[in-house]
Amino acid sequence: MSKIFETPLYPYHRSADQDAAAPVRHPVIVIGAGPIGLAAGIDLAQHDVPVVIIDENDKVSWGSRAICYAKRPLEILDRLGCGDEFVDKSVEWQLGKVFFDERKIYEFDLLPEEGHKRPAFINLQQYHFEEYLVHRVQALQAEGKQIEIRGNSRVASIDPRDDHVLVTVDTPEGSYKLEGDWLIACDGATSPARKMLGLDFIGRVFEDNFLIADVIMEADFPTERWFWFDPPFNRDQSALLHKQPDNVWRIDLQLGWNIDKDEEKKPENVIPRLKAMLGEDAKFELEWVSIYTFQCRRMEKFRHGRVLFAGDSAHQVSPFGARGANSGLQDTDNLIWKLKLVLDGVAPESLLDSYDYERILGADENIMNSSRSTDFITPKSEISRIFRDAVLDLAESHEFARPLVNSGRLSVPSVYDGSPLNGNDDPDLPPRTRPGAPVVDAPVGDNWLTDLIGNRFQLVGINTEVPASLDVDGVRVEGMRISSAEDTDGHLQKRYLGAEDQAVYLFRPDQHVAARWFDYSENAVRTAVNTATGRA
């Protein structure tokens, strides 16, 4: 049986657009059918916005690549209608072990917070991730949604105009032109779209290389995350071992910046390193080896007129903390509902500038965390190394030093503090769910809060009445009452009410809190909706 990443999933088909007399106009064109481009397409299709996704090949990506997905992106996948397939296939781990030099210095149990539908995070190969998103695209097509992936098609030029973008697409049967009201570039770290528009990165730039290997093992290795600082088999660098589904193990060996990539990739150089890591007797088969080079930086702006950048095309981080694909999914989560309102003519184009504000805030958080991890793992000065080694030495016998050990801080969603879209707050309510914060899941009867909201503005009255629906100048708001009494563990009370008896929350379509009050007032909700849609 051929592997999923060898199977054409969306082979090239001639489109009627190629035979049209004039370029055909589409509301949205997405470049790239990676995780972010596919998520953007699915989100648009769910909002009934026709979308064309253009991808230069016809398969999912080769090799495991992005393998850790955090709770918030899983909630986004639930909103996109496909979370179960990912979670069912994935591997969940609880126990992590940290090694320094030749010894294990400590282990930790994740002990995830109770009262959430989804786990803290899962491991899943990127090719499965993309495969399941393609399944969702196919399901939406079967429902009659206008979503299309054009395989073996490469965007060769981008010509931004005042009210649309003109693109040239190369195919096996020649090139054709296509127009989009909007263009979303999800074409990855090397983004040809970014280069075509002459745009570059700003900020701190540093480069590192990782040897990344997928290994199929017969042995019963435990489902744990093992991280090595300065191990004998990879001196002065780090190493990571992670379990994936189907007995595939992922190994990341940090190589530093000054290396011969072709030399490092040769099996005769890779295999001895892996044996040193897994033990001489370990039986394994090498499925995939790649050198991953990263730089830590972002574009100055993600919105350039009618061209919007999302995912790695807009920002890049080190792999520590799994912040790449996870933050990319939060980009499109943030962008698509805004684009829908703009396309419907109910919100001004300037609403899209809040995409820049909110997601640049997210990118900067990710870059900061990723830079700190990198500085800990690869100290940049003698004194930095002295402190790093001191932390690791102390961590072996002193619990206090363990939180200082930084092998990557796992992706957590940004709170959009200071966003122009944030509305009223009552500061006596818990800070964790303040305006700008993403939904914090909690059980609601037999359901989950994350499953009850999203894709629309949603008023939630906790222990108080709100209207079932409201039209705010073309923006539909739905309302529901929930009761904190049903949640006997008190998660809803703790996360949304604190010491108070009741509250009203307004959630945006991306499940972030727009505003909150103690009591319902129609005027206050209207003001908050206008603020959250850039109409205030």
**Cα dihedral sign, 294-271-127-217:** negative
Among 19, 22, 258, 400, binds another protein (CB under 8 A): 400
Is the CB of 217 or the CB of 394 nearer to another protein?
394
Alpha helix ranges (H) inside 80-157: 83-89, 126-142
Query: Which of these, 190, 414, 409, lies nearest to 316 by C-alpha position?
Result: 190
Interaction of residue 404 with another protein, rule CB under 8 A: yes
Q: Considering the complex, what minimum distance in angstroms separates the CB of residue 318 from another protein?
A: 24
CA-based nearest residue to 201, from 312, 291, 306: 312
- Cβ within 8 Å of residue 484, ≥6 positions away: 462, 463, 490, 492, 493, 496, 497
**CB of 394: closest distance to another protein in angstroms?**
6
Helix axes 35-46, 126-142, angle to 10 degrees: 20
Q: Please state the φ and ψ torsions of residue 3, each to the nearest 5 degrees.
A: -75, 155
Contact 374, 84 (CB under 8 A): no
Which of these segments, 128-136, 293-301, 389-397, 423-431, binds another protein (CB under 8 A)?
Answer: 389-397
> Of the candidates 13, 135, 398, 432, which one interacts with another protein according to CB under 8 A?
398
Give min distance, CB of 400 to another protein, in A: 4
Determine, following the binding rule CB under 8 A, whether residue 396 of this chain makes contact with another protein: no
- We find the least distance from the C-beta atom of residue 431 to another protein, in angstroms, to be 17
Cβ burial, residue 224 (10 Å; 0-12/13-18/19+): middle
**CB of 181: closest distance to another protein in angstroms?**
49
Task: Kindly tell me which of 268 and 382 has the beta carbon lying closer to another protein.
Answer: 382
Question: Residue 220: helix, strand or coil by DSSP?
Answer: coil
What tokens were used for 416? 């959009």
Quote the Cα angle for 146-151-157, to 5°: 95
Site for another protein in 10-29 (CB under 8 A): none
Smallest distance, Å, CB 398 to another protein? 8
Residue 159 in tokens:
């010509």
Q: Which two tokens mark 356?
A: 């820049």
Segment near another protein (CB under 8 A); pick from 70-78, 158-166, 175-183, 383-391: 383-391
Q: Is the dihedral of CA 396, 402, 408, 410 positive or negative?
A: positive
391 touches another protein (CB under 8 A): yes
Q: Does 402 bind another protein (CB under 8 A)?
A: no
Whole-angstrom Cα distance, residue 287 to residue 225? 20
Helix (H, G, I), strand (E, B) or coil at 210: strand
Residue 177 structure tokens: 């032109």
With respect to another protein, which residue has the nearer C-beta, 195 or 398? Answer: 398
Could you say which of 190, 387, 485, 490 contacts another protein (CB under 8 A)? 387
Output 402 or 535, the one with its CB closest to another protein.
402
Residue 166 near residue 305 (C-beta atoms within 8 A) = no
Which helix (H) or strand (E) element contains residue 524? helix 522-532
Q: Going by C-beta distance under 8 Å and a sequence separation of 6 or more, which residues neighbour residue 391?
A: 376, 401, 404, 405
Exactly one of 101, 170, 389, 500 binds another protein (CB under 8 A); which one?
389
Q: How far is the CB of 387 from another protein (least distance, A)?
A: 5
Quick one: 120 or 394, whose CB is closer to another protein?
A: 394
Task: Read off the tokens for 410.
Answer: 């796992």
Binding mask 342-381 for another protein (x = CB under 8 A): ----------------------------------------
Cα distance between the two ends of the chain: 57
Select 257 or 387, whichever has its Cβ closest to another protein.
Answer: 387
The answer to whether residues 271 and 283 touch, using CB atoms and an 8 Å cutoff, is no
Between 111 and 383, name the residue whose CB sits nearer to another protein: 383
- Give min distance, CB of 409 to another protein, in A: 18
Nearer to another protein, 108 or 201 (CB): 108
- In the complex, what is the shortest distance from the CB of residue 424 to another protein, in angstroms, rounded to a whole number? 30
For position 257 contacting another protein by CB under 8 A, the verdict is no
CB-wise, 87 or 395, nearer to another protein?
A: 395
Strand, coil or helix: 68: strand
Does residue 390 touch another protein according to CB under 8 A?
yes
| Window contacting another protein (CB under 8 A); options: 74-82, 330-338, 370-378, 398-406 | 398-406
**Taking the complex as a whole, how short is the minimal distance between the CB of residue 96 and another protein, in angstroms?**
21
**DSSP code at position 248:** E
Establish if 224 lies at the interface with another protein (CB under 8 A). Answer: no
Instruction: Name the residue nearer to another protein (CB basis): 264 or 393.
Output: 393
Chain residues in the site for another protein (CB under 8 A): 383, 386-387, 389-391, 393-394, 398, 400-401, 404
